Amino acid sequence: QVQLVESGGGLVQAGGSLRLSCTASVRTFSGYVLGWFRQAPGNEREFVAAISWIGSRTYYADSVKGRFTISRDNAKRTVYLQMNSLKPEDTAVYYCAADPRESDFDARELSYWGQGTQVTVSS
């Protein structure tokens, strides 16, 4: 069983930055692909970013490319999402996810999810 705990959400003005963290309670952290999803009120959950087991490959939704950066520290069992140039449309609950497989990470059921952290961007 893998438990994921997100932190770092909050309220920020448009144009500002936040860094989200997600720490996993698992011994074999490097055996999991990690990613971030988000869900705004009234919308379906959507893929934001993902990173491969040792961080050699990263994937981003078009809406966040160039503004968000995903990274991981396997020694700390933590994945990060650095969010810059935030926009009001980035407002959502952000969820961390983990899965042993990389393929179709953005489009299928994943093994483990965190509880989410709220990000609110004011205009």
Cα of 51 vs its chain's centroid, Å: 9
Segments in the chain below pLDDT 70: none
pLDDT value for 107: 87
CA distances from 111 to 19, 42, 94, 120 (A): 24, 24, 17, 27
pLDDT value for 82: 98
pLDDT value for 20: 98
Q: Please tell me whether residue 122 adopts helix, strand or coil conformation.
A: strand
CA distances from 44 to 40, 77, 115 (A): 7, 28, 16
Q: Tell me the helix, strand and coil percentages in the chain, rounded to 5.
A: 5, 50, 45
